[in-house]
Amino acid sequence: MLDQNMKNQLKAYLDNLKSDVHLVLSLDDSDTAQKLLALANDIAALNDKVSVFQDQSASERKPIMQVVNPSKQTSIGFAGLPMGHEFTSLVLALLHSGGHPMKIEADVIEQIAALDQDINAEIFISLSCQNCPDVVQAFNMMAAINPKIKATMIDGAAFQQEVTDRNIMAVPSVYVNGEVFAQGRISLADILEKLIQQLDPEAAKADAEKEAKALSSKETYDVLVVGGGPAGAAAAIYAARKGIRTGIVADRFGGQVMDTMAIENFISVKATQGPKLAASLEEHVKEYDVDVMVGQRASNILSAEESHDGLVHVTLENGAELTSRSVIVSTGARWREMNVPGEQEYRNKGVAYCPHCDGPLFKGKPTAVIGGGNSGIEAAIDLAGIVQHVTVSSIETELFTLLVVVIQQWTVCVPPFVITR
């Protein structure tokens, strides 16, 4: 299942295991099940601390492999074959279940361990989705910490009937205890906050008030950057290099770059992936004395002319207020919307913005792409090998005409397109 190069790399990682890990498989007669068994056996052959067991009663959903710590009774499930973007999720699940330290703060680990209600998290993904692993890995870490939390990655392509029954049209889609919990990328901090709000609203309120108070007590900045994309990161770095007090407020590092599958010709970088570039941005910012406040959104900015003290006041959504002598707003880009009736109501319920992530969920279905520019045509080409039929609708002129020729040539080997404008 794994080539020799991957085996060598994985063996080096598994040398970090400190305790036994069981791979418990519940299988059916599918091809995916045989591949999952082969994968489990390959992993077990690399380290004596890993053992493979088959137990048909361990799960009603099949095929599935559960990564279990037998002493702590923690369990992390992979329904489907965790390859592609999710192979990293599997490797981390093995390491964390085997006692390798997690790269999260001690107070966050304490909060997760303190959750005292049963939580069954199901994360529906597609193996081509670059956003899904972050969500899967967040829940997996929680499950490796607290045995009351069970996390299961579910490959939508392998469990299409379940995807249809639940009307899932976007990934990642998260269900907690059978109810819709979240759709799209969500950080560990946001997951934890949302869970605490549901399980213990009073504690969540107290934590939010405590956080807002701590943020409001921060000293005035010389430069406060609002936004954590490439522009915000660059602004924070250059300000900090001047030796002035610098802070950065961001919902997440990377901005829309985090949702970008491939980036080419970024100066000095021939090609990379969005999440990788975003991680590098964050790492670069943290090389300097920058006060980084991630997971925060600005709701209002009061200019120095409007304020009573000559400072810029930035109010966050949690009620905290930061002050600065100057503010750089770099809130970046968002998905372009059509602004037509029904778009917001059907967002993630048939209206999607990423053919790589959500395309596999539309397998065999008629699909429309709005936009005839390069991104629209690339999306149509990507979808053509998956869906039943692609309709491209565009108001572009010269570029559209040029790309029509490309599409007409491409349709020799893929399902037909209908092109309108």
pLDDT at 206 over 90: no
CA dist 74 and 421 (Å) reads: 55
Q: Does residue 334 belong to any structural domain of this protein?
A: no
User: Among 153, 176, 202, which residue terminates a domain?
Assistant: 202
Its domain, for residue 252, covers: 219-329
CATH number of domain containing 14: 3.40.30.80
Q: Does residue 212 belong to any structural domain of this protein?
A: no
Residue 411: predicted pLDDT: 46
CA dist 38 and 270 (Å) reads: 36
CATH number of domain containing 291: 3.50.50.60
Q: Does residue 30 belong to any structural domain of this protein?
A: yes
Question: What is this structure's pTM?
Answer: 0.76
Same domain for 179 and 286, yes or no, is no
Same domain for 265 and 134, yes or no, is no
Same domain for 309 and 257, yes or no, is yes
Residue 221: predicted pLDDT: 98
Contact assessment for residue 97 and residue 22, using Cβ atoms and an 8 Å cutoff: no
Q: In sequence order, what DSSP letters do the residues of 217-273 get, joined into one string?
A: TSPPBSEEEE--SHHHHHHHHHHHHTT--EEEEESSTTGGGGG-S-EEEETTEEEE-
Same domain for 169 and 247, yes or no, is no
Q: Does residue 101 belong to any structural domain of this protein?
A: yes
Same domain for 130 and 60, yes or no, is yes
Q: Does residue 305 belong to any structural domain of this protein?
A: yes
Query: pLDDT digit string (tens) for 285-317?
Result: 999 999 999 889 999 999 999 999 999 999 999
Residue 418: predicted pLDDT: 58
CA dist 84 and 86 (Å) reads: 5
Query: pLDDT digit string (tens) for 39-87?
Result: 999 999 999 999 999 999 999 999 999 999 999 999 999 999 999 889 9
The residues pairing with 250 across neighbouring beta strands, listed in sequence order, are 294
Residue 181: predicted pLDDT: 95
pLDDT at 414 over 70: no
Contact assessment for residue 369 and residue 390, using Cβ atoms and an 8 Å cutoff: yes
Query: pLDDT digit string (tens) for 166-178?
Result: 989 889 999 999 9
CA dist 172 and 152 (Å) reads: 12
Same domain for 12 and 99, yes or no, is yes
Q: How many domains does the chain have?
A: 3
Same domain for 40 and 164, yes or no, is yes
Same domain for 196 and 229, yes or no, is no
Q: Does residue 51 belong to any structural domain of this protein?
A: yes
264-295 burial string, b = 16+ CB within 10 Å, else e? eeeeeeeebbbbebbeebbeebeeeebbbbee
Q: Does residue 352 belong to any structural domain of this protein?
A: no
Q: Does residue 209 belong to any structural domain of this protein?
A: no
Same domain for 231 and 111, yes or no, is no
Same domain for 241 and 165, yes or no, is no
Residue 361: predicted pLDDT: 83
User: Among 176, 202, 228, which residue terminates a domain?
Assistant: 202
Q: In sequence order, what DSSP letters do the residues of 65-114 get, joined into one string?
A: EEEEETTTTEEEEEES---GGGHHHHHHHHHHHTTPPPSS-HHHHHHHHH
pLDDT at 398 over 70: no
Same domain for 183 and 243, yes or no, is no
pLDDT at 396 over 70: no
CA dist 200 and 213 (Å) reads: 20
Measured in residues, the chain has a length of 421
What letter would DSSP give residue 57? G
Contact assessment for residue 290 and residue 244, using Cβ atoms and an 8 Å cutoff: no
Which pair of tokens denotes residue 43? 């992993």
Residue 256: predicted pLDDT: 82
Same domain for 82 and 165, yes or no, is yes
Query: pLDDT digit string (tens) for 225-267?
Result: 999 999 999 999 999 999 999 999 998 888 888 877 778 888 8
CA dist 251 and 278 (Å) reads: 13
User: Among 167, 202, 237, which residue terminates a domain?
Assistant: 202
